[in-house]
Chains A and B, each alone.
Chain A
Amino acid sequence: MCGLGILGIALHRKRECLHQQVFFTMTSPQQKAEFASPTALEEIQSQLRARASADVNITPDTNITRDLGLDSLAIMDFIFDLEDSFDISIPMERIAEVQTITDLAEVIETLRKEAS
Chain B
Amino acid sequence: MSILDKFDPLREQHKVLTDVGRSPAALKFDDILSPTEAILDGKRTILMGTNNYLGKTFDEASVQAAIDALREEGTGTTGSRIANGSYNGHEMLEKELAAFYGVRSAMLFSTGYQANLGAISALAGRDDYLLIDADSHASIYDACRLSDAQVIRFRHNDPDNLDRKLARLEGTKGSKLIVIESIYSMLGDMAPIGKFVEIKKKHGAFLLVDEAHSLGVMGETGRGICEASGVEKDVDFITGTFSKSIGTVGGFLVTDMPGLDIIRLVSRPYMFTASPPPSIVASARKTLSCIPGAKDLRKRLWDNAAQLYNGLKDAGFELGPTLSPIVAIRLKDAEKAIALWNGLLDAGVYTNLALPPATPFGWYLLRSSISAAHTPEQIAKAVTVCKSIGAELGLIAAPGDADPAPARQLNGGAETRPCATSEAEAAAPTTAGAPVARV
Contact = CB atoms under 8 A, between A and B. Distances in A.
B357 A89 contact: no
A69 B426 contact: no
B362 A73 contact: yes
Contacts of A90: 152
B415 A53 contact: no
Contacts of B151: 91-93
Nearest to A95: B153
B435 interface: yes
Given A80-B161, A93-B150, A69 B436 contact: yes
A32 interface: no
A76 interface: yes
B155 A74 contact: no
Interface in A66-116: 69-74, 76-77, 80-81, 83-84, 87-93, 115
Nearest to A115: B168
A56 B437 contact: yes
Interface residues of B, number: 28
B357 A72 contact: yes
A87 B429 CA distance: 19
Nearest to A87: B168
B426 A77 contact: yes
B131 to A, nearest CB: 9
A90 B435 CA distance: 24
Interface in B102-150: 134, 144, 150
Chain A CB within 10 Å, residue with most, of B169, B360, B362, B437: B437
A71 B415 contact: yes
A73 B437 contact: no
Given A71-B415, A73-B362, A80 B434 contact: no
A71 B357 contact: yes
Contact of A73 (B150, B153, B361, B427): B361
B431 interface: yes
A54 B134 CA distance: 28
A91 B152 contact: yes
Contacts of A84: 164, 427
B165 A89 contact: yes
Nearest to B155: A80
B430 interface: yes
A73 B360 contact: yes
B150 A81 contact: no
A50 interface: yes
Contacts of B292: none
A20 to B, nearest CB: 26
B438 interface: yes
Contacts of A50: 429, 431
A74 B430 CA distance: 10
Contacts of A76: 134, 153
A40 to B, nearest CB: 16
A104 B204 CA distance: 31
B356 interface: yes
Nearest to B152: A89
A87 B356 CA distance: 29
Nearest to B437: A69
A50 B430 CA distance: 8
Nearest to A90: B152
A73 B357 contact: yes
A71 B435 contact: yes
Contacts of B360: 73
Contact of B438 (A69, A73, A83): A69
A71 B356 contact: yes
A53 B152 contact: no
Chain B CB within 10 Å, residue with most, of A71, A90, A91, A115: A71
Contacts of A91: 150-152
Interface string B158-170: 0001001100110
B438 A81 contact: no
A53 B153 contact: no
B275 to A, nearest CB: 31
A71 B362 contact: yes
A61 to B, nearest CB: 19
A93 to B, nearest CB: 7
Contacts of B152: 89-92
Given A87-B168, A92-B144, A53 B435 contact: yes
A70 B161 contact: no
Given A81-B427, A83-B165, 6 more contacts: A50-B431, A69-B435, A72-B357, A74-B415, A91-B150, A93-B150
Interface of A: 50-53, 56, 69-74, 76-77, 80-81, 83-84, 87-93, 115
13 contacts: A51-B430, A53-B436, A69-B438, A71-B435, A74-B435, A76-B134, A80-B161, A80-B426, A80-B427, A89-B165, A91-B151, A91-B152, A93-B151
Interface of B: 134, 144, 150-153, 155, 161, 164-165, 168-169, 356-357, 360-362, 415, 426-427, 429-431, 434-438
8 A-B pairs with the lowest CB-CB distances in the bound complex, closest first: A69-B437, A92-B151, A91-B150, A89-B152, A89-B165, A72-B357, A89-B168, A74-B435
